Amino acid sequence: MVAPALDDVDRVLLAGLSADARQTNNALAAKAGIAPSTCLGRIRALRESGVVRGFHADIDPSLAGRPLQAMIAVRMHGHARGRLEVFMRQLAGLPGVLNVFLLGGGHDFFVHVAAAGTDGLNAFVIEHLSSNPDVALTETNLIFQHARATRWT
């Protein structure tokens, strides 16, 4: 997929959406200095080109019953290299998984998870990672604090 050429208006729209995707089209158009109908067309084009992948709720895992967050580093066995993308999609679909990152370097994945407690985190690692014959190593790091970037700039 080829990245579309973005102009200053597109960048204002992306910054506005990343700060508050629920704002009205009229408010977003005013920030970009364009007509509301033009704004709708621009946002539609950004979605169709894949620049805007979706609109999501930012849920606080702690307030939603999963106060323990961890980043789990995963290294795969060499024989599993052809299945990395499939494994990544499987992980992304599991309960409690917030993000999955395919990496270059010493580890193959970082898996950002939220669990109700240490027992749930331990069960996740054992059931979904350590018991998988393709997984060579896991390393779990607890997250004490997390700040989400609020803007695309």
pLDDT in tens, 1-25: 788 899 999 999 999 999 899 999 9
Task: Count how many domains the chain has.
Answer: 2
CATH of the domain at 91: 3.30.70.920
Contact between 114 and 98 (Cβ < 8 Å): yes
| pLDDT band at residue 149 under the 50/70/90 scheme | confident
75 found inside a domain: yes
User: Model's pTM, two decimal places?
Assistant: 0.85
Residues 41 and 72 in one domain: no
CATH of the domain at 23: 1.10.10.10
Give residue 34's region: left, alpha or beta (phi > 0; psi -120 to 50): beta
Residues 24 and 80 in one domain: no
**Residues paired with residue 68 on neighbouring β-strands, in sequence order:** 115
pLDDT in tens, 12-59: 999 999 989 999 999 999 999 999 999 999 999 999 999 999 998 888
Residues 138 and 73 in one domain: yes
Cα 37 from Cα 39, distance rounded (Å): 5
Domain coverage including residue 35: 8-48
Q: CB count, 10 Å around CB of 69? A: 20
pLDDT of the residue at 52: 96
pLDDT of the residue at 148: 81
Residues 124 and 77 in one domain: yes
